[in-house]
Amino acid sequence: MTQLPNIVILGDYERALRRFSQWDKLDQEAKLTIYHEPLRDEALYQVVKDADAIAIVRDRSPFNEAMIARLPKLKFLMFTGERNGTLDAAALVSRNIPMGCTPGGPSKETTAELTWALILGASKNLIKQNRLISNGGWRDELSLLPMLSGERLGIMGLGAIGSRVARVAKAFGMEVVVWSPRMTPERAASENATSVSLNELLSTSKIITMHLVAGPGTKGIISADQLALMRSDAILVNTSRSALINMSDLLKALKAGRPGQAAVDVFDVEPLPNNDPLRNTPNLLVTPHLGFIAEPIFEIFSKGITETLEAWIDQRAIPHPFKP
Residues involved in catalysis: 241, 270, 289
Residues 6+ apart with CB under 8 A from 262: 122, 235, 236, 237, 238, 250, 254, 283, 284, 285
The answer to whether 7 touches 34, Cβ cutoff 8 Å, is no
Q: How many CB atoms lie within 10 A of CB 147?
A: 12
User: In the chain, which residue ranges form alpha helices assigned H by DSSP?
Assistant: 24-29, 41-48, 65-69, 89-94, 107-123, 126-134, 160-171, 185-189, 198-204, 224-229, 247-256, 295-313
Strand partners, 194: 177
HSE-up of 199 (CA within 13 Å, CB side)? Answer: 1
Q: Enumerate long-range contacts of 163-166, CB under 8 Å, 24 or more apart.
A: 163/191, 164/108, 164/109, 164/112, 165/112, 165/115, 165/116, 165/209, 165/211, 166/191, 166/192, 166/193
The answer to whether 177 touches 204, Cβ cutoff 8 Å, is yes
Q: Tell me, what amino acid is at 145?
A: L
The number of residues in the chain equals: 324
The H helix count followed by the E strand count for the chain is: 12, 12
Is residue 294 helix, strand or coil?
coil
Q: How far apart are CA 241 and CA 218, in angstroms?
A: 10
